[in-house]
Structure 1
Amino acid sequence: MKILVIDDQATVRKAMCIVLRKLGFSDITEADSGNRAMACLDKKQFDLVISDMHMPAPDSGGPAKSGLDVLQYVKTHPRLKDTPFLMVTTDAEMKTIVQAMQRGVNGYIVKPFTEASVKEKLDMLGFLANAAA
């Protein structure tokens, strides 16, 4: 199972990868911006995308791509549209959650996350039985 983890904060990305490895996942790709994530998605098919919602512009300049931009890209791309997408953010306001749900997000994890909260969302999506695949 191939997972793409997107977050501009390296410590958060690494923490998510540690949790995913503890849960049995090993094929994990990291991206530090929405822009880099979209480049990864163009090159490789992923079984799951886990993305931070709010990310600043990349060092290379150009307009920043937020987690919502990546979500929209995935859900409107013919090859990617069925890829499950989990949004991770510190923003737990109902308005934000509804906005992500309306755009097709499959689940929502609030930071700071725990192994249990990630496990719950992956189990909800049916991924824990497939961790070793």
Structure 2
Amino acid sequence: MRVLVVDDMPLMRHVLTNMLRKLDFKHVDEATNGEQALKMLKKKRYNLVLTDLHMPKISGKDLFLSIRANEKWNDIAVIVVSCEDQKEVVTDLIKAKVDGFIVKPFNFATLQKQLDLVFKEDQKATHS
């Protein structure tokens, strides 16, 4: 399974990447913003994108909407990882069918739980 971690903060990318590797995700790439992530999505096939919301150039929300709008990518699971606390923003993402939402700061167990939920739902959809 290929994972793309998108965050403009190097420390957050490092933390997420290390947590994912501890969860046995072996193919983890990093992007510093939504613009770089879109370029990488055009070159490689990813199963999961973990993205921050507030980034320069292309925001995480715009990245997510671009993924959902592209037929080739709309089966990619997207989890937003953000310190966003505005209810409307979170509600809009849920309405747009974001697969998961993790509020910063978070711990290993929170990430693991979100991934379990996302991929459990994914398995239900493919088996029904």
What TM-score comes out, normalization by structure 2 length?
0.90
Give the ranges of 4+ consecutive aligned residues of structure 1 lying more than 6 Å apart after TM superposition: none
- Unaligned stretches of 5+ residues in structure 1: 57-63, 128-133
Name the amino acid aligned to 1:80. Answer: W
Shift of 1:93: 2.7
CA distance in structure 2 between the aligned counterparts of 1:71 and 1:126, rounded to whole angstroms = 18
Q: Does 1:30 align with 2:23?
A: no
Shift of 1:55: 0.4
- Identity of paired residues, percent? 32
Q: Select 1:102's aligned residue among 95, 98, 108.
A: 95
Q: Does 1:82 align with 2:78?
A: no
Shift of 1:101: 1.2
CA distance in structure 2 between the aligned counterparts of 1:81 and 1:126, rounded to whole angstroms = 15
Shift of 1:126: 2.2
- Look up the match of 1:53: 53
1:18-64 Cα distance to aligned partner (Å, 9 max, x none): 110111111001000110000001111101010001102xxxxxxx2
1:94-126 Cα distance to aligned partner (Å, 9 max, x none): 212101112221100001121011000001012
Alpha carbon RMSD of aligned pairs, Å?
A: 1.0
CA distance in structure 1 between the aligned counterparts of 2:43 and 2:115, rounded to whole angstroms = 24
Structure number with the higher helix fraction is: 2
- Look up the match of 1:114: 107
Q: Does 1:44 align with 2:44?
A: yes
Count, aligned residues: 120
- Unaligned stretches of 5+ residues in structure 2: 121-128
Name the amino acid aligned to 1:86. Answer: I
- Look up the match of 1:15: 15
What TM-score comes out, normalization by structure 1 length?
0.87
